[in-house]
């Protein structure tokens, strides 16, 4: 289980990007984090990835505190961030340097097959389309079999058609090993298609505002009325999160905890 306990982050310039964010995420759960721009989503993800230290609070994965990048946690950014001097295959194998060459080659070949880019193994990253490059990035992050995969607006730079394609593809890949996914997005459709649970954040300081369970089976039909319902409730919550007159619901505390005070 991944546990975030009152994670806060104040940048050196005094910006309070994240305030007392708490959540518990089951192994294999798919979480979407949604919220206005600047509400600390990336900051949160970077803290979970161990790329930045939280100012206070802590992130634990199966009781292990995360303070630097961890073998069980992978991350995919908005840009593919492929290494331009490595072939597609070598990019995917980048995190497998410790394995013997034959084993590495096998895993890379299987991953290439899995993301449908077997014919691009020896291509350079510059020869890929945006969608293909992001597939390679996904394969690179998944190939070491992380328990947690973080995705920071991974599809936001792609066109609508490619984005849908990759969303389905991500779910497909997820089903192989069922890692925990935490996906930051600003696309309500994407959140409802992918997530078991949507966390809505609100800005200044960035904090948890609401959570919405998406009780829909998979595969999900984007046109079903139920799907529309969930989309509407996420949108409503998002609107309320941006409306300053709405007080915090304090979703950070369980129902019983409030009685403590």
Ligand X SMILES: Nc1ncnc2c1ncn2[C@@H]1O[C@H](COP(=O)(O)OP(=O)(O)O)[C@@H](O)[C@H]1O
Q: Is 185 in the site for Mg ion (CB under 5 A)?
A: no
Q: From the CB of residue 235, how many other CB atoms can be counted at a distance below 10 Å?
A: 14
Rounded to whole angstroms, the Cα distance separating 189 from 192 reads: 5
Q: Is 125 in the site for ligand X (CB under 6 A)?
A: no
Q: Which is nearer to Mg ion, 38 or 116 (CB)?
A: 38
Beta bridge partners of 24: 3
Q: Which is nearer to ligand X, 96 or 200 (CB)?
A: 200
Give the contact letters, 38-77, x = binds to Mg ion (CB under 5 A), - = no.
----x-----------------------------------
Selection from ligand X, other proteins, Mg ion, none that 43 binds (CB < 5 to 8 A by kind) is ligand X
Phi–psi pair at 134, nearest 5 degrees? -70, -30
Q: Which pair of structure tokens corresponds to residue 59? A: 């992130």
Q: Which is nearer to Mg ion, 77 or 230 (CB)?
A: 77
Q: Is 185 in the site for ligand X (CB under 6 A)?
A: no
Three-state secondary-structure class, residue 66:
coil
Rounded to whole angstroms, the Cα distance separating 162 from 121 reads: 20
Rounded to whole angstroms, the Cα distance separating 223 from 259 reads: 42
Q: Tell me the HSE value of 148 on the side-chain side, using a 13 A CA sphere.
A: 26
Of the candidate residues 8, 32, 41, 74, the single one contacting ligand X (CB under 6 A)? 41
Q: Is 1 in the site for other proteins (CB under 8 A)?
A: no
Residue numbers at the binding site for Mg ion (CB under 5 A) = 42
Residue numbers at the binding site for other proteins (CB under 8 A) = 49, 51, 68-71, 74-75, 77, 79, 81, 83-86, 94-95, 97, 124-127
């Amino acid at each position: 289980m991944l546990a975030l306990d009152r994670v806060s982050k104040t940048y050196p310039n005094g910006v309070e990007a994240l305030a007392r964010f708490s959540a518990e995420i089951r192994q294999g759960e798919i979480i979407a984090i949604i919220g206005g721009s600047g509400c600390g989503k990336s900051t949160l993800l970077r803290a979970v990835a161990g790329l930045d230290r939280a100012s206070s609070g802590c992130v634990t994965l199966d009781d292990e505190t995360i303070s630097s990048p961890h073998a069980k946690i992978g991350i995919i950014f908005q840009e593919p961030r492929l290494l331009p001097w490595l072939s597609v295959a070598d990019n995917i194998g980048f995190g497998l340097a410790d394995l013997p060459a034959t084993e590495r080659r096998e895993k890379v070949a299987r991953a290439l097959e899995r993301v449908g880019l077997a014919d691009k193994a020896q291509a350079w990253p510059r020869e890929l389309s945006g969608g293909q490059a992001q597939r390679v990035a996904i394969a690179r992050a998944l190939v070491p079999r992380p328990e947690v995969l973080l995705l920071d607006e991974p599809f936001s730079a792609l066109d609508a058609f490619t984005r849908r394609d990759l969303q389905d593809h991500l779910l497909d890949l997820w089903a192989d090993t069922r890692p925990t996914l935490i996906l930051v997005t600003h696309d309500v459709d994407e959140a409802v298609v992918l997530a078991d649970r949507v966390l809505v954040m609100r800005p200044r300081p960035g904090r948890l505002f609401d959570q919405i369970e998406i009780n829909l089976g998979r595969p999900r039909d984007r046109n079903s009325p139920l799907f529309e319902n969930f989309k509407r409730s996420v949108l409503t919550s998002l609107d309320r999160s941006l409306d300053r007159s709405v007080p915090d619901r304090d979703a950070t505390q369980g129902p019983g905890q409030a009685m403590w005070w």
